[in-house]
Amino acid sequence: MKQMLYAVAVLMAAGCSTSGTPTTGPSTVTVTVTPPTTTAAPTTTAAPSASVQPTACTDDQLDVTNAPLESADTLRRVVVTFKNISSQGCTLVGYPGADLVTPAGGVLINVARRPANAAHHLTLAPNDAATADVQSYAVDTKTGDACPRYGTLVVTPPNGFRSRTLQVDLPICDATVSSVD
């Protein structure tokens, strides 16, 4: 600011003359003004963007298959695999749906789904797979009598709506399904 006032004073002095005689030519005054120094604002780098979280797996992204039926005493078990066949990652949360149905498609037993908040949250990269176990008993656990009927396993993936009929028959007594792992 002082330099600016000095420059103004020099300009004023250059335009005035104490002798009453005119000056012989225009005088040139060079004024250099230096801007005041400021502290530079700190440079900031953009925070890394949050990685895009995969969305829930859709029915079209999953291939659903079963392993062979396993037997141990009166317990029957089948492992169901959910494979991501898409080119994008996706997540599975919760329990699959499971029904044991007649050859005509009538539901013999519906395996109740447990709440999703009690299940694992899995992210499947392309070609990754998760599994769930479906178990049932060959005897009625209340009476000890042999289970009277078998049903074909129909599974709905967690987050899904389209049921898949698998080529495995299970007894209809006391069936359960695990969360995906």
For residue 37, tell me if it sits in a domain.
Answer: no
SS3 letters across the chain = CHHHHHHHHHHHHHHCCCCCCCCCCCCCCCCCCCCCCCCCCCCCCCCCCCCCCCCECCHHHEEEEECCCEEECCEEEEEEEEEECCCCCEEEECCCEEEEECCCCCEEEEECCCCHHHCCEEEECCCCEEEEEEEEECECCCCCCECCCEEEEEEECCCCCCCEEEEEEEECEEEEECCCC
For residue 95, tell me if it sits in a domain.
Answer: yes
In whole angstroms, give the CA distance from residue 118 to residue 91: 15
113 pLDDT exceeds 50? yes
For residue 137, tell me if it sits in a domain.
Answer: yes
For residue 5, tell me if it sits in a domain.
Answer: no
For residue 26, tell me if it sits in a domain.
Answer: no
Average pLDDT over residues 121-150: 92
For residue 73, tell me if it sits in a domain.
Answer: yes
pLDDT in tens, 64-109: 999 999 999 999 999 999 999 999 999 998 889 999 999 888 898 8
pLDDT in tens, 32-64: 444 445 444 444 444 444 566 789 999 999 999
Provide the residue range defining the domain that includes 73.
Answer: 59-177
In whole angstroms, give the CA distance from residue 36 to residue 45: 27
- Report the CATH number that the domain containing residue 131 is assigned in CATH: 2.60.40
Confidence grade of residue 116 (pLDDT, cut at 50, 70, 90)? low
The predicted structure's pLDDT at residue 50: 53
State how many domains the chain has.
1
